[in-house]
Structure 1
Amino acid sequence: MSVTAVASAIALTALPASAQQAPASPDSEAAANTSDTDATGGEIVVTASKRVATTVQDTPISVQALSGADLKERGAIDFADFYRSVPGISVQDEGPGDKRYVIRGINSTGAGTVGLYLDEVVITGENAQDGSGQAPDIKLFDIDRVEVLRGPQGTTFGASSMAGTIRYITAKPKLDEWTGYVQSALRSTRGADLGLQTDGAINIPVVSGVFALRASGFYADLPGYIDNRVQDGANAEKSKAARLQARLQITPDLTLDGMAMYQKVHQDAKNFFNRVDFAGQPLTGARYQQADVARAPYDDESEIYNATLTYVQPFGTITATGSRIVRDTDFNRDASLAAQAYFALPFATTGRSLLNQVKHRKVDSGELRFASDFGGPFQILAGAFFQNENRFYRSSWPTVNAQGVVDSASRLLLDRTVATEIKEKALFGEVSYAFIPSLTLTVGARLFDFDLEQRAVAIVAAGGGKGAGAGPLLTTSDNGLIGRFNLAWKVNEQVNAYVQVAQGYRAGGTNDQTAAQLANVTIPDGYGSDSLWNYEVGLKTALLDRRLYLNGALYYIDWSDIQVTDQATAGTVSFPYTGNGGKASVKGAELTLDARPIHGVQLNAGLNYSLAELREDNPVPSTGRSGDRVPYVPKWTGSAGASYSTVIGNSGLQGTIGADASYQGSMATKFNSSIANYRRLGAYWLVGLRAGVSEGPWSVNLNVTNLFDDNTPINYNEIVPGVYPDGYYINRPRTFSLSGLVRF
């Protein structure tokens, strides 16, 4: 075993605007459900600009929306169930709560590159110790719509929205009517037992026209299809969530909204499988098996709170919002082979162990903004934002007993903690001027300031024994100004065109010195921010009396100071850390189509091409050379769907049948094949079918996903090369779901 591999294992343990419309208001978000267009969102109302509520077609940026009704019809319960229908999105996927979102080819080590919001709450993935930037998987219950904003949104949505932003917009309380729904589904996945999913909501006008409550909940028990030595279906997912929302109409002009949400996801094992065991022998028996000898459960628990005050006047809207998210994750990974390789402890006995990573994250954020409605050619958006974040991370390496669990006889082979505090504040604004009613120029900017402090403590040294104690206090800070320029031309009622130049950025971070000390190497204290410029031209059309929506965009992205994995060496030891590289670029095109050629028929399609490449060698060229493609970015992604609805005879029943298909091109997990753990991920198709009947408030739907049971790997385990057998992640096997929905 090479010393380089030993250092890698030690590192593993250390890682853990436009046309003038009505201002955005509390009711503008609820307006989306009145739309006649659900498949690709041609007529869905969105609030992507934070200033106005407009339809997708009238919003002069690349935005796609999926309505809550459409998501229910598809049987979607989380991000994995809908993202393939949005061109330009790919995912570095390791299961629930462990995803890294990629839009328009922007992906690298460091914090997430895609901003994620639940209403006004920032839930973007953190810059974790393992560089993963994972965000929670919000369950899709009582959702009004999902907005996907492609391209940099940094001026309005801040850091880590450098590639785009995904917004989950919940259904809001209604002040004057009792409404609600209950939906339940039976789910059958090949190789798994029968599962159950149910969700529902009730809207209560406590004081009609003045005060209303909306309560909703979600539960899913999805049996697993991967076995391990101690459990069949070990990757079963059990999820539960609840949300309570309130709306108080203080005056006709002043509205207070509140929201509290809880969500928990549990798995007894992650979603990967192996083909050989730890001794290198083929695994036989079940279709998918894990080689782990230690139990490695995963828990992800989130609490989300928000209060938003909206004041609407003829001259504009003032919005004040404050939020908190508290997220706790407990991640485990079998570390038995590493203990055998590095400490000469046999994996089947004294070396049987696991890596335990516990993360606590609390984020408080607030924003105050004004969106004008001056009634003339000049409009403004102005706001101030703050975010305070505290994180605590513990990485320990306990031995486990013969049943694969920690007990009183367990001992620690490593124990470390890292505490991080981040403070960010920003001022942002946009100015729009309509030179003529059909031609509007928008100029936006964001002035930001970012400070981070971090301290690590080595409690137990690698292999056991007392650790070195507290490391140095590491600090990093950054400030700057980013901009956005958008020229929108409403050619006529059917055609809108725009040209946009927008900047995005991502904050830097620190490199843990206590981890480097374990490997006896010297690394920089931290790394700087990276940024990009996106140059884009887009066209949106509503043709054939609005029976055909055809939208497209061409874009070029210039990415500088890209955050990459560097290597520090001391003799034969090579240790990975995060640094700044040179440049990368993305050349891309996207196209979406939504058509209703005849009554009852709906067709949709989407296509994206992204060529994301390094334009300069990384500081350590072996980790990436000019011309290498960016990891986890396929050149081509696409989707297509069709549905037909009609009245069945004279019964009054409405029947619907539909089919959809999605394609993801090949990609790789690293820049080039000379990098350890490089794996090529092949192209694949997924096909789904659905059928349903409805009458009045009730409906019954049958869905089939992954019809042909494709098991092409979509990711590989990031395990120490040469020590662990490959672990494969795949899409969920063929699944049938039968659901019933009742509205009241």
Structure 2
Amino acid sequence: MHQAHDKRRLTPLAYATLLAFSIMPDAAFAQDRTAGTSGTEEAGQLHSVVISAQKRKESASKVPASVSVIGAQQLENQHVTQLSDLNGYLPGVQIENGGTPGKTAVKIRGIGNLGPGPVVGTYLDDTPVGSSNNIQKGAGLVLDMLPYDIARVEVLRGPQGTLYGASSMGGLLKYVTIDPDLKHLEGRIGGGMSSVKGGQGSGRDMHAGVNIPLIKDTLALRASLASNQTPGWVGNAVTGARGINRSKQQGGRLALLWQASEDVSLKLSAIRQKIDANDNSLITLDKNNRQAIYGSYSNNKLFGEPFERDINYYSATLNWDLHWADFTSATSHSRENTSAPTDISHEFGVALPDLGKMLGVDAPIGKSRFPLDIGSKKITQEFRLMSKPGGKLEWLAGAFYTKEDGTQAQTATAQTMAGASIPVLDPLLIVAMPSSYKEAAVFGNLGYKFSDRFDISAGLRHAKNRQRYQQIVDPRSALALLGAVPNTAPPSSSSESVTTYMLSPRYLLSADSMLYVRVATGYRPGGPNIALPGVPSTVNSDSLINYEAGIKSSFLNRRASIELAAYQIDWKDIQISTSTDNGLSYAANAGKAQSRGVELSSQYKATQDWRLGLVIGYTAAYLSEDAPKLKAGKGDRLPGTPRWNAALTSDYNFSLPDGWAGHVGGGYSWIGERQSAVNPARSLTLASFGTLNLNADVSKDAWTVRLYAKNLANNQKLSSISPITNALSGAVSQYSANRPQPRTIGMAVDMQF
């Protein structure tokens, strides 16, 4: 009767599935089994991943900073389709999903988006992407790539201002793509289907890629396409529609590598990514008990909130071996267009009668829609000259330039419940906000080896930025007639110079263990502000200094590793988003904060085929002085940051009959309690929650069949919550909240050739 132990009666896929649901899930997103490793490890040892965090290739275990690496195999095994799938698996990192792929914010070590400008830098290979100013709302629009043809994702914790410049004060998110192969013709095609609990229809994904050596050892082309469709699981109680938040992600990449000579190579790359979401996954909660009013996954929007984001990215990277040094030129051009209309009926629609009285109009309670369109064009150029590795003195010198041109169009409507325009009040607002940002910087790093065991690295960067902004308001706008916003204001501008630095001593205890200390600074640019009565015309840059000490060690014949870091961050002149009495947002500076914490990452290879991992993060982030503009005081916690997060993961490889190979894996992540806002009068406590993911695959020759389950226990705890308030009175009418994507189970098939 024990047929489960008779392999002859089980297909390879069934066998892998049984194992996936029977082993204890444990070790996590860490190094890949093959790609990106040094290739010198013995069987049964942990792989050492080579990364480019410090703009030179080196083992992650030797970098004197806190770094996480998520390899291509981990991304694929768990069918990661957006950044928020990694939330909880990185110590000290929170990835917030705004209800759809592409609406993403990242916090590192408690340094998050209290203001509209980004605090975590984003790089695609060698060049930055996304806006640097505080007009283009970059904090909530972090690059969220469909991770196909990605070699790895590197996450650097702590300020990276010396090498990566503005807006990397909290850390850095870096996507590293797969280079074309000059020797081998290869290709890959695959697809799959998935089911979301409560979803309408099924999810579908496909991908295809090919690598073609056009001239062996000289010229190669790599091309890939990917698409992912996710069914919707949220309903609208007003319209009766179900599955409104269905979404589709599409991406494509072309890369051409030319090895012009033994010393010179040129890589050209073009990437396109498009996200289309019919609506988002936000739900409505009661203002008193904060329970779902219309069901666990439903809202009462009067207008849909579709989301569209289109990114086009082009780059050219030249590498030249000068024999005495290495020269790199990295150039990029990118265009981003985002459309994100919002239903503001419960903020402004309910206030229409009072707004009407101010203008002598008899207006009913109605509904209001807020279309928002953001566009940007960005060019970057960086030159680097870097010494050869291995000497007592290692150095790097570079120059950087970027130019961004941004557009933003905002409209607010005023309509009756039947959809008719309300005279005088409609439009509430029509405004265009063109902006520009230019930055030039020089930077350098020096490292000196005082002995075989002790070295010190130091870095310095000096940057200057100039910004221009104009606010063009349609004089017919009701808010302009009321004087809440001025008519078209003259262009405003700002400029600032900032110097950041880094100092990092490192001591090698042995060939496999080291201690390090790191002191580093970072900043986020200030700039022109929204033109509103009584609002300062500019906002100052904010900055921080990070003090960090850590240890990285491999032991048990490199079968186990541990990385432990402790830090303190002092953050001053914090940029925040606040609002006028009329509910109109602007940026301001608001005092100081401090974040202290500890991060642990550990791996253990129990056998040659079984790897376990553990990550733990502790973060205590709070205001270190009173902040009247936030209506918060010294000691109040910064929002969205749990004191604790942890993850336990496991990967196991095994052989099957008839030449099949199997793999099972899984992970359990836990995120502690968070505060929803820094203002204690408005802040709510979000409960802690855990999420279980499992995956299994079998492969033979060119074929791989994979099963995966996300949020297997169907956790429904809130991941975010915010009040919906009357624009004039400030009274809370209801809450808008988000939950993790419900249990998702899928299957994928992949073929390589």
| 1:354 and 2:364 correspond | no
Structure 1 residue 63 displacement after superposition: 1.1
Contact residue 257 and residue 307 of structure 1 kept, 8 A = yes
**Which position in structure 2 is the counterpart of 1:13?**
none
The reply to whether residue 178 of structure 1 matches residue 185 of structure 2 is yes
Matched, 1:592 2:597: no
The aligned amino acid for 2:564 is G
Q: CA deviation at 1:81?
A: 1.6
- Does 1:210 find its partner at 2:218? yes
Which of these residues, 434, 451, 475, is aligned with residue 436 of structure 1?
451
Checking the alignment, whether the CA contact within 8 Å between 1:103 and 1:163 is kept in structure 2 is yes
| 1:425-574 superposed matches below 5 A | 425-463=440-478, 469-513=487-531, 516-517=532-533, 522-565=534-577
SS of the residue corresponding to residue 510 of structure 2 reads coil
Is 1:161 aligned to 2:161, yes or no?
no
Specify the code of the residue in structure 2 equivalent to 1:243.
R
CA shift at 1:508, angstroms?
A: 0.7
How big is the shift at 1:129? 5.5
- Change in CA separation of 1:613 and 1:281 when aligned onto 2, cut-off 3 Å: closer
Residues 184-222 of structure 1, C-alpha deviations (whole Å, 9 max, x = no match): 121111011211011221101111111111101111111
1:715, 1:729 within 8 Å by CA — same for their partners in 2?
yes
For 2:685 and 2:317, the matched residues in 1 are separated by 46
CA distance in 2, matches of 1:38, 1:308: 36
How many angstroms apart in 2 are the aligned matches of 1:427 and 1:545?
Answer: 43
**2:573 and 2:591 in contact (8 A); partners too:** yes
1:630 and 2:630 matched: no
Please state how far the C-alpha of 1:447 moved relative to its aligned partner. Answer: 0.3
Distance 1:659 1:504, change over 3 A: same
Structure 1 residues 711-720 or 366-375, which shifts more? 711-720
| Amino acid across the alignment from 2:170 | A
How many Å separate the matches in 1 of 2:82 and 2:541? 31
On the 8 A contact 2:44/2:609 being kept in 1, the answer is no
Match of 2:255 in 1: 245
1:256 lines up with 2:266 in the alignment: yes
Q: Following the alignment from structure 2 to structure 1, what is the Cα–Cα distance between the partners of residues 44 and 696?
A: 16
Question: In 1, Cα distance between the equivalents of 2:627 and 2:107?
Answer: 20
Q: Does 1:120 align with 2:102?
A: no
3-state SS of 2:706 partner: strand
The answer as to whether partners of 1:335 and 1:354 remain within 8 angstroms in 2 is yes
Shift of 1:472: 2.6
Alignment match, 1:80: 84
- CA deviation after TM superposition for structure 1 residue 132, in Å: 4.0
The alpha-carbon distance between structure 1 residues 247 and 714, as it changes in their structure 2 partners (threshold 3 A), is same
Aligned equivalent of 2:227: 219
Q: Please report how far the alpha carbon of residue 463 of structure 1 lies from its aligned counterpart in structure 2 after TM superposition.
A: 3.3
Distance 1:30 1:692, change over 3 A: closer
Once the two structures are TM-superposed, the CA of residue 712 in structure 1 deviates from its matched residue by 0.9
Contact 1:216–1:244 (8 Å) recurs in 2: yes
Q: Structure 1 residues 132 and 380 mapped into 2: Cα distance closer, same or farther (>3 Å)?
A: closer
In the alignment, what sits opposite 2:75?
Answer: 71
**Change in CA separation of 1:63 and 1:34 when aligned onto 2, cut-off 3 Å:** same
Partner of 1:323: 332
1:59 to 56, 60, 63: 63
CA distance in 2, matches of 1:40, 1:153: 31
Q: How does 1:257-406 map to 2 (within 5 A)?
A: 257-275=267-285, 283-284=293-294, 287-344=296-353, 351-373=366-388, 375-398=390-413
Task: Summarize the Cα distance change of 1:381–1:557 in structure 2 as closer, same or farther, 3 Å threshold.
Answer: same
Question: Residues 245 and 54 from structure 1, CA distance in 2 versus in 1: closer, same or farther, beyond 3 angstroms?
Answer: same
Tell me whether 1:145 sits opposite 2:152 in the alignment. yes
- Is this contact kept in 2: 1:298–1:331, CA < 8 A? yes
Q: Deviations over 1:621-668 (max 9, x none)?
A: x622100111111111111101222112x3221122222100111111
- 8 Å Cα contact 1:585-1:612 kept in structure 2: yes
Deviates more, 1:360-369 or 1:58-67: 58-67
Q: TM-score if structure 1 supplies the norm length?
A: 0.88
- How many Å separate the matches in 1 of 2:613 and 2:390? 36
1:27-106 paired onto structure 2 within 5 Å: 31-32=36-37, 43-50=48-55, 52-95=56-99, 96-106=101-111
Shift of 1:716: 2.2
Match of 1:726 in 2: 735
Counterpart Cα distance in 2 of 1:319 and 1:651: 49
Q: For 1:569-610, what per-residue CA distance to the aligned partner results, in whole angstroms no more than 9, with x for missing partners?
A: 7xxx78653222222111110100111111211101100101
The match for 1:663 among 664, 670, 677 is 670
Whole-Å Cα distance in 1 between the matches of residues 363 and 740 of structure 2? Answer: 31
**Structure 1 equivalent of residue 20 of structure 2:** none
Pairwise CA distance, 1:91: 2.8
Letter in 2 for 1:700: V
- What's the TM-score, normalizing by structure 2? 0.87
**Cα distance, 1:462–1:260 mapped onto 2, change above 3 Å:** same
Q: Which residue of 2 aligns with 1:19?
A: none
Note the alpha carbon deviations across 1:663-687, whole angstroms, 9 max, x for none: 1111112113214xx3322111001
CA contact (8 A) 1:125 1:135 kept: no
Gaps of 5+ in 1: 1-28
Q: Output the CA distance in 1 between the equivalents of 2:40 and 2:135.
A: 40
Q: 1:341–1:447: structure 2 CA closer, same or farther, 3 Å change rule?
A: same
Could you tell me whether the CA contact under 8 Å between 1:38 and 1:44 is conserved in 2?
Answer: no
**Equivalent in the alignment of 2:589:** 580
1:233 aligns with 2:243: yes
The 5-angstrom pairing of residues 609-624 of structure 1 reads: 609-620=618-629, 623-624=631-632
Deviation at 1:496, TM superposition (A): 1.5
Q: Structure 2: how far apart are the matches of 1:30 and 1:738?
A: 23
8 Å CA contact retained: 1:60, 1:498: yes
Taking the aligned partners of 2:654 and 2:634, their CA distance within structure 1 comes to: 55
Instruction: Provide closer, same or farther for how the CA distance between residues 687 and 311 of structure 1 changes in structure 2, counting only shifts above 3 A.
Output: same
After the TM superposition, which segments of 4 or more aligned residues of structure 1 sit over 6 Å from their partners?
35-41, 345-350, 400-406, 464-467
Aligned-partner Cα distance in 2 for 1:39–1:170: 28
Provide the secondary structure at the position in 2 that maps to 1:342.
helix
Q: Secondary structure at the match of 2:338?
A: strand
Q: Given that residues 527 and 538 in structure 2 are in contact (C-alpha distance below 8 angstroms), is that contact kept between their aligned partners in structure 1?
A: yes
2:478 partner SS: coil
CA distance in 2, matches of 1:250, 1:454: 44
Going from structure 1 to structure 2, the CA distance change for 1:177 and 1:352 (only over 3 Å counts) comes to same
Aligned in 2, Cα 1:37/1:233: closer, same or farther, shift over 3 Å? farther
226-235 or 264-273, which moves further after superposition? 226-235
1:680 and 2:685 matched? yes
CA distance in 2, matches of 1:565, 1:359: 18
Distance 1:480 1:41 in 2: 41
Offset at residue 510 of structure 1 (A): 2.3
CA contact (8 A) 1:37 1:44 kept: no
- The alpha carbon displacement at 1:82 in A equals 2.0
Whether the 8 Å CA contact 1:296–1:354 is kept in 2: the answer is: no
1:539-586 deviations in Å (ceiling 9; x for gaps) = 1111111110111111111112222345667xxx78653222222111
